[in-house]
Every structure is written in C-alpha cells, then in structure tokens.
C-alpha cells in the first residue's frame, strides 16, 4: 500500500515537471524573434547594396552619354571646320579665276588701244575683234580714260549695237553720253543721258545720268529744264553724291540769278 502511494506520487510529480517544461509559443520565442530581426536587417542591407549598384550604374551611363555628346560635338565641329575650309578654298579659286579673267581682259584692251592710238575705228568695228562684251567694254572704257574721246564714243556705239543685251549696256550708254559731254557736244550728250534714264530705269547710273541731264541743260541755257532735273535728283535720290552735286549746281543757279 505504501509502495502504491509512492508510485502515484512519483507519476504526479513527473506530470507536474513535464507541465513546467512545455514549449513556449513561436511568436514569443526570443531566439526566433532575434533571427527574424537579423533576417530583416540583412534584407535591408541587400536592398541598399542593390540600390547603390543602380545609382552607380546610372552615374556610369550618364557619364558615358556625356562623353558621347562631347564626341558628337567634336565631330560636328570638325565637320563644320572642314566645310568652311572647302568653302574658303572654293571662294579663293573663284576670286583667283575672276582676277585672271580681268587681267586677261585688261591685256586685250591695252593691246587693242595700243593698236588704235592715232587711228580710227570703222563704224562697225569693235575695239577687240572676236572679244567678249566685257573685253570690248573694258577697251572702250580704257580709251575714255586715256582721253581718246572720239575713239571711245565709236567703241561704245559699236558695243551697244553688237551687245544690246549685255549687263554692261547701261554703263556703256552712260559713258557714251559722257564722251560727248567732255567734248562739249551737249545736245548729243543730253539725248544719250536721257536714253539711260528711259531705257535702263533700274540702273545704278540713273542718278548720275539725271544729274548730267541737268548739267547739259545748264550748258544749253535751258534753265527751267536744268532746275527741274537737278531738283528731281534731290527728291528721288537724296542720299547720293549726285544729289549733293545737284544741290551745288542749284546754288550756282541761284547765285547767278537764273
């Protein structure tokens, strides 16, 4: 009996002992909580590392793009410089070619003048036989500069007959009239200056031709016509040398009381 009681007490004690050693719930286990905290911190560190890698990668891509832009800019600058060099060379060659042509024209004109000096031109003869309009214009102009006025008039007349559509025709007409003016053939000069005004209204020679119309009328004592022409120069071409000279001649008319 005593033995049975002792055995029962031992069993009850074991139950109490086992009950006291029961497992703590996982949500409250300090070790598990610690492990979870470490796992979370590790994940945070991994995210930071990954994000830092993306930042570095972004920076490297940006730097590469900037270097690419710089290279593109340098390439474009080199292309622009190359184009500018080619254009400058082309312009240099064009200028050189023009100067060579002008020199050749001057040589032809000089040779023709040397051959004509002391002689005459036939009514249908050009100063430079077989030459271009520019060759013959230059030859006629050289005659005028050398004060071979009759030869110059003949040369300009034949120029206008042979090259009526030349871009130099308005100039030739003006200098033809001038060759008559300097030899005091004022009526012929007046008629030819008026042709410049009527036939070539857009020519740069019009203001000067209009001024010379006033001068011719002055010499022919056509005072009213002279004033009208000179005043027209001032009104229509106020900022030109021709307008200034017209004003001076008008002052002369006033001083002379005519």
pLDDT at 80: 77
Rounded CA-CA distance 83/73 in Å is 15
Rounded CA-CA distance 80/35 in Å is 67
Rounded CA-CA distance 227/35 in Å is 116
pLDDT at 18: 40
pLDDT at 175: 98
Other CB atoms within a 10 A radius of the CB of residue 39 amount to 10
Residue-level pLDDT, tens digit, the chain, 258 residues: 544 444 444 444 444 444 444 445 555 778 778 778 888 887 877 777 667 666 676 777 778 788 888 888 888 788 777 777 777 777 775 765 656 555 554 554 454 554 455 556 666 689 898 899 999 999 999 999 999 999 999 999 999 999 999 999 999 999 999 999 999 999 999 999 999 999 999 999 999 999 999 999 999 999 999 999 999 999 999 999 999 999 999 999 999 998
pLDDT at 87: 73
What are the Cα distances from residue 98, in Å, to 105, 108, 127, 165? Answer: 10, 15, 22, 22
Residue 224, token pair as written in the block: 């009213």
pLDDT at 227: 98
Rounded CA-CA distance 125/157 in Å is 10
pLDDT at 159: 97
Rounded CA-CA distance 16/29 in Å is 22
Say yes or no: domain 106-256 is CATH 3.40.50.2000: no
């Amino acid at each position: 009996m005593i033995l049975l009681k002792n055995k029962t007490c031992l069993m009850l004690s074991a139950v109490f002992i086992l009950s006291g050693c029961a497992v703590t719930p996982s949500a409250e286990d300090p070790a598990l909580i610690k492990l979870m905290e470490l796992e979370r911190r590790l994940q945070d560190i991994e995210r930071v590392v990954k994000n830092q890698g993306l930042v570095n990668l972004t920076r490297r891509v940006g730097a590469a793009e900037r270097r690419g832009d710089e290279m593109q800019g340098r390439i474009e600058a080199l292309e622009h410089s190359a184009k500018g060099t080619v254009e400058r060379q082309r312009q240099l060659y064009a200028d050189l070619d023009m100067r060579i042509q002008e020199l050749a024209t001057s040589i032809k004109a000089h040779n023709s003048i040397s051959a004509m000096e002391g002689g005459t031109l036939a009514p249908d003869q050009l100063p430079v036989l077989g030459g271009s309009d520019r060759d013959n214009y230059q030859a006629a102009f050289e005659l005028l500069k050398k004060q071979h006025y009759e030869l110059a008039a003949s040369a300009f007349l034949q120029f206008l007959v042979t090259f009526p559509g030349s871009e130099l025709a308005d100039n030739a007409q003006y200098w033809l009239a001038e060759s008559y003016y300097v030899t005091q053939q004022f009526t012929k000069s007046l008629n030819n200056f008026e042709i410049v005004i009527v036939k070539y209204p857009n020519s740069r020679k019009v203001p000067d031709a209009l001024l010379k119309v006033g001068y011719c009328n002055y010499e022919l004592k056509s005072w009213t016509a002279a004033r009208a022409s000179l005043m027209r120069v001032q009104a229509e071409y106020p900022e030109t040398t021709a307008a200034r000279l017209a004003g001076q001649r008008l002052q002369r008319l006033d001083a002379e009381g005519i």
